[in-house]
Amino acid sequence: MTIEVIRNLSALQLQKNAWHELWKKHPRPEIFQHYAWTMAFIDAYQCEKRLYVLFLRDQDGVLIGICPWALNAGRITWLTSPRAEYNDVICAREDGARLIEACLRHLRETSGREWREVLLEDVPDDSVWSTCIRSLAHVPVKIAMENGEECMRLRMDAEGSVLRGIVSKKGYSRNEKALASLGSVSLIEHPDIERRLAVLPGFFEQHITRWKAAEQASMFCEQTARRFYELLVQAPELVSMIDFTSLQAGSKTIAYHLGFWGEGKLIGYKWCFDPALQKAGPGTVLMVRLMHHAASRGRLEFDMSRGGENYKGRFTNASHMLYDWRAFSSPRRRLLHGAKAHVRQRYPQLSKRLGALSHGIRTALKKLPFWKTLA
């Protein structure tokens, strides 16, 4: 097997068709590994200088896999982290084991020279990467699975009994009635590019307002994040994979959701609601309406993706796990990472103070005249 490492954008753009054909062979071809998703991310975040994408070919020169990585300051990550909810290599299931083994051999051969740490975050437990790496009799480089995170989902039945049980709860009925006082409540789809671009500014504004009310900064305070979403909704290849909806009460838009259609499911990605109406439960009504929306399209799973927020627990009846995979170029780095993890777990307050001190020192140093010379 041969590995071509693509590190410039023009070379990657030449592989568009090959990438797409291979993506269709993946056992779960989701938007997060799609070529158009990747290119939107590269454009918005201007990360073409960090490209470290592995194209793997068999002895006949046939492309069998793509490993979409980035390399920055000695650390290898997934190329579109942290925007992708679920990360994986791109290949057919049957080619997974030899692909993963080749990727790990490449890491062993370049250890300490090109990278010092590998941090592959948010990898599903049932992904090609996770299942195949566990099946290897010999792992060429020491890489560990850590930071397990439960992702909640609702599995529905074709008869609708699961949804009827949710709707019949008294709390939900109160939410519907409270919002109905503003006018008829309906979920509005925005199916085409022109309409989505027109609705996006309202979505950004509401998301910023919602998080400000929670005394946190919305991701959409950053121009790069807004640019990423604008590029996503404009990509012709992604139109049918994106689900962009708003919840209306009369003439007022009280909530938004931008998610993605997957294999047999709707993936919840980014949602927000008007914080002035929080007591009326617009977020709850939005989620239940989205469940009905998914079921009407024949998708009997509503995947609530990353995050263990309490509100998700009210709807879930199933879950799956995400893990990070981490490797180090030397035992010393691995021991240092373990020591830091131990301090964070056993002495969280001390860890926060040390982190703040370290940040303060770095900030102060960068203000000194000689810093640019050292950098």
**Residue range 303-323, pLDDT digits in tens:** 999 887 888 888 899 999 999
Question: Per-residue b/e over 29-43, b at no fewer than 16 CB within 10 Å?
Answer: bbbbbbbbbbbbbbb
For the chain, give the percent of residues with pLDDT over 90. Answer: 82
Between CA 56 and CA 282 the distance in angstroms is: 47
**Residue range 318-366, pLDDT digits in tens:** 999 999 999 999 877 777 666 666 566 676 776 667 666 666 666 666 5
Q: At what angle do helices 223-234 and 193-213 cross, to 10 degrees?
A: 150
Q: Is 135 helix (H, G, I), strand (E, B) or coil?
A: helix
CA dihedral 20, 22, 26, 30 (to 10 degrees): -10
**Residue range 263-286, pLDDT digits in tens:** 999 999 999 999 999 999 999 999
H/E stretch holding 293 reads: helix 282-296
* Paired strand residues for 273: 255
Q: Which residue has the higher pLDDT, 337 or 122?
A: 122
pLDDT of residue 375: 44
Domain 157-299 in this protein, CATH class:
alpha beta
Q: Show the CA angle centred on residue 292, arms to residues 286 and 293, nearest 5°.
A: 80
- Residue closest to 293 by CA, chosen among 175, 187, 154: 187
Domain ranges of the chain: 2-149+322-329, 157-299
H/E stretch holding 255 reads: strand 252-262
pLDDT of residue 352: 66
117-143 mean pLDDT: 95
pLDDT at 374 over 70: no
222-249 mean pLDDT: 97
Tokens of 91: 């290949």
pLDDT of residue 306: 86
pLDDT category at 298 given cuts 50, 70, 90 is very high
Same fold for the pair 2-149+322-329 and 157-299: yes
pLDDT of residue 312: 87
Before 82, cis peptide (omega within 30)?
yes
pLDDT at 300 over 80: yes
- Residue closest to 32 by CA, chosen among 312, 262, 328: 262
- CATH of 2-149+322-329, picked from 3.10.20.600, 3.40.50.300, 3.40.190.10, 3.40.630.30, is 3.40.630.30
Q: At what angle do helices 282-296 and 170-180 cross, to 10 degrees?
A: 100
pLDDT at 82 over 50: yes
- Mean pLDDT, rounded, of the chain: 91
